Amino acid sequence: MAAADSPSAALRRDLCSRGIRLAGKMRADVVDLLDAYVEQQGLDASAGVAAVEGVPLAAVERWDEQTGTQRLLENLAAYRAFRALLAQMLEEQREQLGEADAGLGRALAAVLLQVSAFAYHLEELLRLESRGIPGEEGDAPPPPPRLSLFEQKLRGLGVLRELAQWAVRSVRDLRQLAKPSPAPGLPESP
Amino acid sequence: MFSGWNWVAYGFYLVLNVCSPDASSGLVQSCGHIIPESPVLALGSNFTALCILNESCLDFGNIYASQIIWKIKNRLVPKEQYREINRTVSSVTFNDTSSLATPLTCNILADGQIEQNIYGITVTVGLAPEKPKNLSCIVHQMSRFTYVMTCTWNPGRHTFLDTQFRLRYSWPEEIFPDCIPKDVNDSCTITDIQFFVNTEIWVEATNALGKAESDPLVVDPIDIVKPLPPQNVSVSSGVLPTVLKLSWENWISDAVMTLKFNIRYRIVGDTNWMEVPCEDTAFPRTSFSVQGLRPYTEYVFSIRCMKEDGVGYWSDWSEEKTGITTEDQPSKGPPIWRIIDTSHSPACWTVHLIWKALKPFEANGVILQYEVTVRDKSSLSSPVKKYNVTSTNHTLQLPEGTYEVTLIARNSVGASPPSVLLIPASNSKAPVKNLRTLPKHDKLWVGWTAPNSYVLKYVIEWCLVSSSSDCIIEWQIVLGDVQGIDLKGIKPFKCYLITVYPLYADGQGSGQSVKAYLKQDRPSKGPTVQTKKVGKAEAVLTWNHLTVEEQNGFIRNYTILYKTIDGNETVVTVDPSKTEYTLSSLTSDTLYTVRMMASTDNGSRTGPDFTFTTQKFGKGEIEAIVVPVCLAFLLIVLLGVLFCFNKRDLIKKHIWPIVPDPSKSNIAQWSPQVPAKHNFNSKDQMYPEGSFTDVSVVEIEAEDKKSFSEQDLKPFDLLKKEKSTSEGHSSGIGGSSCMSSPRQSVSDSDEGEMTQNTSSTVQYSTVVLNGYRDQTPLQVFSRSESTQPLLDSEERSEDLSGGADSTAQRQQYFRQNGGQDETNTDRPCFERTKQFTHANEGDLVGFVQLQISGQSSQPLGLGMEKNTQEAALSSVLQTCTEGQTVRPETVEENPLPVDEMPKSYLPQTVSQGGYMPQ
């Protein structure tokens, strides 16, 4: 209880709350963006996209057995990867369409900002966990191979879909983190 | 001489230095420069500038720093501010840069006081930017997915310099592009907003003198959102008549923020909003059912929203949407009243039942019909009559009696509670007391004192009194505990008749009425006054009452103002009930102007002027004058007639005198010897009024001529002369008669000689001189009843005289009324017409007196015969018309000796030389 009343606990709660809402907003925006992206790129919404290299997967086994730190680290790694992927997508988008579809570009930029913001939230939470923040360089994914235009579109579709999944997972992760933890490092009850 | 050339060379050098191009430093190489170059200075600070002279100028032109003068915009800087640092550098110091202006120039005052500019700089003075304050931001939702954040701040004082403001914001690991305001310096709008991340926002102000930053504002933009109001609001009625369901769409997804709402509503036409309690709408939703509404009422709804936790701003109100609740049965019965018309027959009433339509909140729907039930309470056996009416009145023909009327309003849902009205046979109950009115703003308050008995209700009737149309009754029912109401819809300046009836449980009280105005004004026109009757000193004025539309208030009095044209105005106040007034004490035969003024409590209005003139005579005055005058005239006429009647013979004699027939004249009887030739002088025809002129016959003997005194004979001389003169002009008596003057009446006694002969009648006579100048004298006094023979004889004598001058021997002298002197001889003959001849019938017995008072107006020399006849006739006529009295005198009555004043003439016997009938 004392931890709950401390400033760090309040800050943690606030960061979790804000992160949850940000993840929710991010998911909503990504869902909207997906529709626009599919339409804009001329893709089929039902098109199946296999796992894209470099895109972290949201699905995980024994999710409920993860610790808070583990959740934060996985989220941070994923969103850092998404940040890079989205930045690449944005650049490719500008190269392909120029200023012809500024709306899609603005939406991509907005999602990119949200991803960055969410990564910042995760870093702050990790600081509160008294855990060192892993270096971004080391975790940076390898530069993606040169892809064809269609492959770029498919990859973009895969990134956005996976980001939407991660947004949902992140909400759940942060809700878990928001709950008062009995002891750091211990597995949390589902 | 040498020195002069030096100075010329020096000046030329300076000009060359300033103006001539230089290969190394550009077009112009000056003799010096100022440090600093074009500085920007803080207002109020101190400032020092240095002017550094070039060495080359020193060598050639003997120019030193001591010769430097400083100027600000051509104004010399005091030398106290100068300082000569060395022989090429001079400084100037300003303790306060506010005294600076552009340009600041460095000048040389060379020998000969020639001032030459060396260099100049532009000085810019301003202020460093202040720290922006009061930074605040708000996020506006522009569309479903678009948000912009607008931040405002206080830029601080004016810097007089070009100052740039920029809004900066960042995340800890992200720096965003600055927002640079356009055209303003106190706000900027950021279009790229990300929620759920604390953003640090601050304002940076920069100019040449420095930079200032505001305190940072750290805020999550989601906490300062002003969302768009709910969209697509719709209202639908529910099952219950008191509920309406409100639905809408939120344009902010729950992922961004959850909302709470605020709902307001009002009845259409009403301005007051009601709100749904906040706690009922403090959670996310898209619909809400508003309860407690009136049935069949149209409502207007509006809704707004904000973040559920209350952090942020309320949105604007949404567009208004209306909805109508469903119908319900009427909540009360319509107020009912009656107007009973007994004008046809007191025993048979025409009952006009009137009721008011229910108010919308009472009707709760559309009233489809009214059900009227009439029950005769005086006869239990009478059947109950029912009527279905769609209007709000119903007329019944009922025999006099007591009735109970029940009214029900019905709509599509159901019927209202019944309204009951008792119509008694007579309003025998006690009326209200002390009925009074009082205007209160735009309402007219009617108050009364309740009767002693318990009153169920009061009915207040009022109507606008009009002269052109019937009084349209409006009415209102109030409960028995009310003793005053405000009448609405009352027009100002209009007269209202207000009647209050108390309704008892078992009857009705008689109505008490009062007239009232909400607001009074002065009459719209004044009365038109006119006279009904105008007399000598009074006038009856009459006028018509102003119509009630013209009165505009209670007429308190009439004022009559009347005046003469130049007189003071008199004012009379008249009771307003009168339509006639008598003005008295007026001046006769005078023009009056009268006008009339009607007055209310709020002013007066004067009618048109009316003028009238009082009569010159009063009633009966003319009669009083005319009647006596007429009577007097009639009396005089009567007396005159009587007199004339009495004197008819005399009048007849004068008007129609008896003309003697010359053929019957008998002159021979009394003057036979008189020769025919005799003078017929007109002088002899002069008679005094109403009297005969005595004819004195003087027989003058030639021998005795000397026995008379000269005095006595003088007239004869004159006569002789006259005669001779007369004869010179004409022959015969015509000439003599006209030459002679008319004889004056006796009253003309101013002439001495005339007094010799008093009133006496001149008779036709002839005086024949006897023995004049050795001729045979003739002394003949002839008298004739007619002139005609005399004329004949005269003609003959004239003929005679015309044949010889023997007539000159005769001397005739007619003394009439004391003789006629010569002064009258020149008078016109026609003046004799004033003379008149008196003829008395009585005289005709012995003689005929014929007076020839006027001879003729013809000139001398005309035929005497004719003249004499006309003269005789005119004389007679004049006698009649002038009413001269005739005083007959006979010689017999006045026998006088001849030597005295003979006043009569007696027929004489023919003496010597007398006239003899021929």
Dihedral of alpha carbons B894, B897, B903, B906, sign:
positive
B294 and B360 share a domain?
Answer: no
User: How large is the angle between the packed helices B648-655 and B621-646, nearest 10 degrees?
Assistant: 80
Asked if pLDDT for residue B681 goes beyond 90, the answer is: no
Q: Which of A172-186, B1-15, B239-253, B645-659 has the highest mean pLDDT?
A: B239-253
The mean-pLDDT minimum among B294-298, B483-487, B602-606, B682-686 falls in: B682-686
Confidence of residue B606 (pLDDT cuts 50, 70, 90): very high
Q: Which of B192-201, B655-664, B671-680, B720-729 has the highest mean pLDDT?
A: B192-201
The H-or-E segment that residue B497 falls in is strand B495-504
Q: How far is CA A62 from the centre of its chain?
A: 19
Question: What is the mean pLDDT of the segment spanning A13-38?
Answer: 87
Residues of chain B with pLDDT > 70: what percent?
A: 69
C-alpha separations of A91 from A87, A150, A162, B179, B332 in Å: 6, 15, 19, 23, 76
Token pair 């004490």: residue: B585
User: How large is the angle between the packed helices A68-97 and A149-178, nearest 10 degrees?
Assistant: 150
The predicted pLDDT at position B665 comes to: 67
Question: What is the mean pLDDT of the segment spanning B272-299?
Answer: 92
Tell me whether residue B807 is in a domain.
no
CATH number for position B566: 2.60.40.10
Q: Which domain holds residue B349?
A: 334-421
B579 and B554 share a domain?
Answer: yes
Q: What is the pLDDT of residues B392-419, one digit of tens each?
A: 999 988 888 889 999 999 999 999 999 9
How close does chain B come to A130, measured CA to CA in Å? 18
Give me B600's structure tokens. Answer: 């209310």
DSSP state of B712: H
Tell me whether residue A37 is in a domain.
yes
Tell me whether residue B837 is in a domain.
no
In angstroms, the CA B483 to CA B498 distance is: 14
B107 and B46 share a domain?
Answer: yes
Question: What is the mean pLDDT of the segment spanning B170-191?
Answer: 88
Task: List, in order, residues 6 or more apart from A42 with CB less than 8 Å away.
Answer: A153
Q: Which of B642, B852, B873, B864 is nearest to B735 (CA)?
A: B864
Tell me whether residue B798 is in a domain.
no
In angstroms, the CA B857 to CA B867 distance is: 8
The predicted pLDDT at position A106 comes to: 83
Domain end residue (candidates: B605, B621, B637): B621
CA atoms in the 13 A half-sphere facing the CB of B415: 11
Asked if pLDDT for residue B791 goes beyond 80, the answer is: no
CA angle at B150 for the pair B144 and B152, rounded to the nearest 5° = 160
B501 DSSP β-pair partners:
B459
The predicted pLDDT at position B669 comes to: 53
In angstroms, the CA B189 to CA B388 distance is: 71
The predicted pLDDT at position B427 comes to: 78
Residue B753's SS3 state is helix
Q: What is the mean pLDDT of chain A?
A: 79
Tell me whether residue A103 is in a domain.
yes
How close does chain B come to A107, measured CA to CA in Å? 10
Q: Is A127 on the interface with B (CB under 8 A)?
A: no
Q: Which domain holds residue A28?
A: 9-45+52-58+65-134
In angstroms, the CA B441 to CA A161 distance is: 74
Q: Which of B456, B396, B417, B420 is nearest to B337 (CA)?
A: B420
B644: exposed, middle or buried (Cβ count in 10 Å: 0-12, 13-18, 19+): exposed
B769: exposed, middle or buried (Cβ count in 10 Å: 0-12, 13-18, 19+): buried
Give me B166's structure tokens. Answer: 């920029």
Question: What is the mean pLDDT of the segment spanning A112-129?
Answer: 87
B364 and B440 share a domain?
Answer: no
Tell me whether residue B780 is in a domain.
no
For strands B199-207 and B164-171, give the pairing.
antiparallel
CA terminus-to-terminus distance, chain B: 179
Q: How is B337-363 classified by DSSP, letter by letter?
A: EEEEEEEEETTEEEEEEEEPPPPHHHH
Tell me whether residue A140 is in a domain.
no
> Hey, are the CB atoms on B197 and A121 less than 8 Å from each other?
yes
B410 and B364 share a domain?
Answer: yes
Q: What is the pLDDT of residues B92-139, one digit of tens each?
A: 888 888 878 888 888 887 776 778 888 888 888 889 999 999 999 999
Asked if pLDDT for residue B724 goes beyond 50, the answer is: no
Q: Which of B199, B205, B212 is nearest to B137 (CA)?
A: B199
In angstroms, the CA B297 to CA A33 distance is: 46
Give the closest of A109, A110, A117 to B171, CB-based: A117
Confidence of residue B580 (pLDDT cuts 50, 70, 90): very high
CATH number for position A17: 1.20.1250.10
Q: Is A28 on the interface with B (CB under 8 A)?
A: yes
Q: Is B200 on the interface with A (CB under 8 A)?
A: no
Give the closest of A22, A32, A123 to B196, CB-based: A22
The number of domains in chain B is 6
Q: Is A3 on the interface with B (CB under 8 A)?
A: no
Confidence of residue B142 (pLDDT cuts 50, 70, 90): very high
Question: What is the mean pLDDT of the segment spanning B433-440?
Answer: 91
Q: Is B196 on the interface with A (CB under 8 A)?
A: yes
Give me B854's structure tokens. Answer: 């006027």
Give me B747's structure tokens. Answer: 């009253």
> Hey, are the CB atoms on B197 and A109 less than 8 Å from each other?
no
Token pair 């508003």: residue: B290
Question: What is the mean pLDDT of the segment spanning B143-158?
Answer: 90
Tell me whether residue B600 is in a domain.
yes
Q: What is the pLDDT of residues B587-599, one digit of tens each?
A: 888 899 999 999 9
Q: Using an 8 Å Cβ cutoff, are A158 and A51 in contact?
A: yes
Q: What is the pLDDT of residues A55-99, one digit of tens each?
A: 777 777 777 778 888 888 889 989 999 998 899 888 888 877 666
The predicted pLDDT at position B154 comes to: 94
Tell me whether residue B285 is in a domain.
yes
Asked if pLDDT for residue B579 goes beyond 60, the answer is: yes
Q: What is the pLDDT of residues B183-197, one digit of tens each?
A: 898 999 998 888 888
Q: Using an 8 Å Cβ cutoff, are B860 and B734 in contact?
A: yes
Q: In the A/B pair of chains, how many CB contacts fall below 8 A?
A: 50
C-beta neighbour count of B802 within 10 angstroms: 11
B685: exposed, middle or buried (Cβ count in 10 Å: 0-12, 13-18, 19+): buried
Confidence of residue B150 (pLDDT cuts 50, 70, 90): very high
Tell me whether residue B286 is in a domain.
yes
Q: What is the mean pLDDT of chain B?
A: 74
The number of domains in chain A is 1
* Max Cα distance, chain A (Å): 56
The predicted pLDDT at position A99 comes to: 63
Chain A: residue whose CA lies nearest to B197: A117
Asked if pLDDT for residue B733 goes beyond 60, the answer is: no
Give the closest of A21, A27, A32 to B196, CB-based: A21
Asked if pLDDT for residue B244 goes beyond 90, the answer is: yes
Chain A hits for B256, Cβ within 8 Å: 25, 28
Domain end residue (candidates: B187, B219, B251): B219
Tell me whether residue A146 is in a domain.
no
Task: List, in order, residues 6 or more apart from B874 with CB less than 8 Å away.
Answer: B833, B854
B70 and B122 share a domain?
Answer: yes
